[in-house]
Structure 1
Amino acid sequence: MPVAPPAFPFLSDHALRPAAELADAREGGGPIRVQPRYGAPCWLVTRYEDARFVMSSPAFGRNWERAGIDTEDVARVTPVEVTNDTFSAQDPPDHTRLRRFIFRTFTPNRVEALRPGTQEIVDRLIDEMIEKGPPLDLYTRFGLNLSVEVICNLLGVPSSDKERFTIWAEAVLLSATSPEHAAASVEQMKAYLAGLAVLRRQEPTDDLIGALVRARVEGDQLSDDEITNLLRILLGAGHETTASQTVNFTYLLLTGDGYRRLVEEPELVPTAVDELLRFTPLISQGSLARFVLTDVEVGGTLLRAGDQVLIELAAANRDAAAFKDPDTLDLARKSNPHIAFGHGLHRCVGASLARMELQVALAALTRRLPGLRLVRPPDQVDWLIERFVRRPKELEVTW
């Protein structure tokens, strides 16, 4: 009698430590079969080499309809219904076309131009923290405010509307919200962003929305719906995720000697950020499925067309075949080809923005608050673990 695949996701003994079953699967070699909370059984990839292959091979797609899979069978760890109308769910040639527009407008120079403004935001937030005095929650007082202000400045969202995005993003990202409420929030966000796109056509601006509205690639131009969906992806990726990693990184640094080391060696901040990205799980296990378009072998296992694959990035980033002493947080790690932002066609378009924000945040915190420490013992911190959110519910700090 066939053995039923294990339930997925696996449980970990700590929110920022990958589950032991993931290491077992990785060391066993090749993909394993699992049963996610929702949808059909699927393959789970945990090895670094296999993860990179699945994310870059044309044998895999992100559009389930193209793969002949029913919507209700899509493997996922959340009850929220999946949708094909987003940038992340497109395959070439549609995805290639949209990504060309992103690279044309969301350039490294545009991101780097945000660094001085990001530094001003960070310094102002730290000034406010010092004025209020400890103890305080680093997430609400620093991480969340920083990410909201930076992404809204990038998009050109009026400061009076910034609070709306926090409400919408939480409704979409947190499972405590009903699917109906999440869907309604998505529609409200889309309508708001579509309205901004219309305004930019009437009154051009230099922000990202204005750039996307004006952009032309080989005579082609984005529709308002395409602009709205691209902005929605950027907003989600650049809001809660960066806020969460800011406090996650600080927690990890404060529970060891990492924070003190960055105080003493500030030149390590850039490499420290990449090492923390490698080391720290963010997206809940295997959140975004890939779909097998043609029979293909992965790690010695034959996957058939119509199969589904979940990729566990946190496990792949702890693979000893790719990283020396992978379970050690080495802030000075020199070779660090991590895939925290994904790989291939669907690598996170906001990677450079997130990296810049995290560098500025950690550099300023360690410079201006060298005595920062946790109010509670590390094992008394309560955690919030959702599909795209993994962070302390509160991270009370003092200095």
Structure 2
Amino acid sequence: MNDPTQDPRFLHNPYPTYAAMRSECPVQAVPTGSSGHRSYLVTGYAEARQALSDPRLSKDTAAFFADKGSRRRLHPALAHNMLASDPPQHTHLRKLVSSAFTTGTVAELRPFIAQVTDALLDQWPIGEQVDLVAGLAVPLPVIVICELLGVPEADRREVQRWSAELFAAAKPDLIDAASHSVADYMTGLIAAKRLQPGDSILDRLISARDGNDHLSEEELVSLAVLLLVAGHETTTNYLGNAALALLQHPAELERLRSNPRDIPASLDELLRFDSPVSTATFRYTTEAITLGGTEIPAGVPVLVALGAANRDPKRFPSPNQLNLDRETSGHLSFGHGIHRCVGAPLAKAEADIALRAILSRFPGIRLAVSPDQLDWRHTRLVRGLASLPVLTVATALPRPPA
């Protein structure tokens, strides 16, 4: 069978494809590349939630590929990271980083996030076309996570480039090379921080490594790379997707412009509507299981389509409609279970601050091109815009009809 997600139209709008697959069967086999092997794609909400918390689905990527004779040369720091591990290793690693992303810790960061946001928006000319992705969605989360990790300002542009290359679709050599570049960089940064310590998250992890927390050097580098990449990649897509959703729904945009206090309560619906992570990271069955009525043999990959699950009408009525009053608890954009995104509070804080600033400073902002002209990133793992051209109108447009 052909993989419907390879259709060029899928990148622009995957949801009709997901809906068709879900209505046929919420869990079904799809080809994996040109190898003739199969994976199982999960598009139903209940099935996705079950898969994300089922201990029979392992994330130990290294164990899965150990006997596959893979020609890939991904750096061990990425091949053996926290997201690619199971308990008890995962439990130990997650505990070390969770304290850096609590609601209280993130609240202390809000003034810095607001300062960075304002500085970026200061560079937007009024009444002209601006790329919201390049001008805000990319640099804001990069600056924030680099600040948290103590990455020098001069290195941040290159770090962001390596991160983008790690998500390049169908370019394994580029991905592998980027993995070595970013891991080698973080190894060097860790060495430099040992000589001249600071108070960043990375410094705290180094202290754990050099203290009594039994963190190996490989685990230290792996955590540093993961925080650097995951700490901004998802947020970049979230900001772009959320802005586009509002620009395509002027009544909802006007509501938030007029009542910015409603923005925090709207963040989860914006996440559900167009998830910044399209497919959850790698999982495979350690034994035969039945999921959504489909029998899945042992030892095969299971791909959980978070974006599809968030549009399942059995869980979210009229799922293709953006409804800021919707009850969205349980959406899967940040995952579910023990692997739920540890950086969720930070991502939502950045989105809250960014949307407030944009709507305050450019209340008449609108798309500069038609939606079908937008360029989406060529990857199935994350869903995000390569660019988002907008017109920076500084006066509010007439209110849309009720």
Superposed displacement of residue 209, structure 1:
0.4
Corresponding residue SS for 1:215:
helix
Q: How does 1:51-90 map to 2 (within 5 A)?
A: 51-64=48-61, 66=63, 70-71=67-68, 84-90=79-85
Superposed displacement of residue 88, structure 1:
1.2
Change in 2 beyond 3 A, CA 1:324/1:389: closer
Superposed displacement of residue 318, structure 1:
1.0
Superposed displacement of residue 362, structure 1:
0.7
Q: Which moved more, 1:196-205 or 1:133-142?
A: 196-205
Change in 2 beyond 3 A, CA 1:87/1:8: farther
What's the counterpart of residue 37 of structure 1? 33
1: CA distance, partners of 2:259 / 2:61? 48
Structure 1 gap ranges (5+): none
Contact 2:148–2:200 under 8 Å retained in 1: yes
1: CA distance, partners of 2:57 / 2:273? 26
Corresponding residue SS for 2:316:
coil
Q: How does 1:115-126 map to 2 (within 5 A)?
A: 115-126=110-121
What's the counterpart of residue 136 of structure 1? 130
Contact 2:29–2:40 under 8 Å retained in 1: yes
What's the counterpart of residue 297 of structure 1? 290
Match for residue 347 of structure 2 among 332, 354, 362: 354
What do the CA deviations read for 1:220-250 (whole angstroms, capped 9, x no partner)?
Answer: 2323321221121222222233223212221
1:339 to 2:332 alignment: yes
Change in 2 beyond 3 A, CA 1:126/1:383: same
Contact 1:17–1:280 under 8 Å retained in 2: no
Q: Percent identity?
A: 35
1: CA distance, partners of 2:44 / 2:382? 23
Corresponding residue SS for 1:114:
helix
1: CA distance, partners of 2:12 / 2:199? 39
What do the CA deviations read for 1:329-361 (whole angstroms, capped 9, x no partner)?
Answer: 111223432010111122222222111111111
Corresponding residue SS for 2:220:
helix
Superposed displacement of residue 218, structure 1:
11
Match for residue 260 of structure 1 among 247, 254, 262: 254
What's the counterpart of residue 283 of structure 1? 277
Q: Which moved more, 1:333-342 or 1:106-115?
A: 106-115
2: CA distance, partners of 1:338 / 1:157? 33
Superposed displacement of residue 127, structure 1:
1.6
Number of aligned residue pairs: give it: 388
Q: Which moved more, 1:23-32 or 1:60-69?
A: 60-69
Change in 2 beyond 3 A, CA 1:336/1:287: closer
2: CA distance, partners of 1:19 / 1:106? 31
Q: Which amino acid aligns with 1:167?
A: R
What's the counterpart of residue 167 of structure 2? 173
1:114 to 2:109 alignment: yes
Corresponding residue SS for 2:31:
strand
What's the counterpart of residue 361 of structure 2? 368
2: CA distance, partners of 1:13 / 1:24? 14
2: CA distance, partners of 1:262 / 1:92? 42
2: CA distance, partners of 1:379 / 1:175? 21
Q: Which amino acid aligns with 2:145?
A: I
Superposed displacement of residue 17, structure 1:
3.5
Contact 1:194–1:225 under 8 Å retained in 2: no
Q: Which moved more, 1:20-29 or 1:45-54?
A: 20-29
Contact 1:17–1:281 under 8 Å retained in 2: no
2: CA distance, partners of 1:267 / 1:151? 26
Corresponding residue SS for 2:384:
strand
Contact 2:272–2:328 under 8 Å retained in 1: no
Change in 2 beyond 3 A, CA 1:106/1:394: closer
2: CA distance, partners of 1:282 / 1:148? 16
Query: So what's the TM-score if we normalise by structure 1?
Result: 0.88
Contact 2:101–2:346 under 8 Å retained in 1: no
Contact 2:280–2:306 under 8 Å retained in 1: no
Change in 2 beyond 3 A, CA 1:105/1:238: closer
Q: Which moved more, 1:230-239 or 1:29-38?
A: 29-38
Contact 1:60–1:293 under 8 Å retained in 2: yes
2: CA distance, partners of 1:15 / 1:359? 26
Corresponding residue SS for 1:390:
coil
2: CA distance, partners of 1:103 / 1:253? 31
Contact 1:67–1:293 under 8 Å retained in 2: no
What's the counterpart of residue 127 of structure 1? 122
Match for residue 211 of structure 1 among 204, 207, 210: 204
1: CA distance, partners of 2:67 / 2:219? 24
Query: So what's the TM-score if we normalise by structure 2?
Result: 0.87
Q: Which amino acid aligns with 2:20?
A: D
Q: Which amino acid aligns with 1:17?
A: N
Q: Which amino acid aligns with 1:269?
A: I
Superposed displacement of residue 15, structure 1:
4.2
Change in 2 beyond 3 A, CA 1:152/1:81: closer
Change in 2 beyond 3 A, CA 1:366/1:197: same
Q: Which amino acid aligns with 1:109?
A: G
What's the counterpart of residue 147 of structure 1? 141
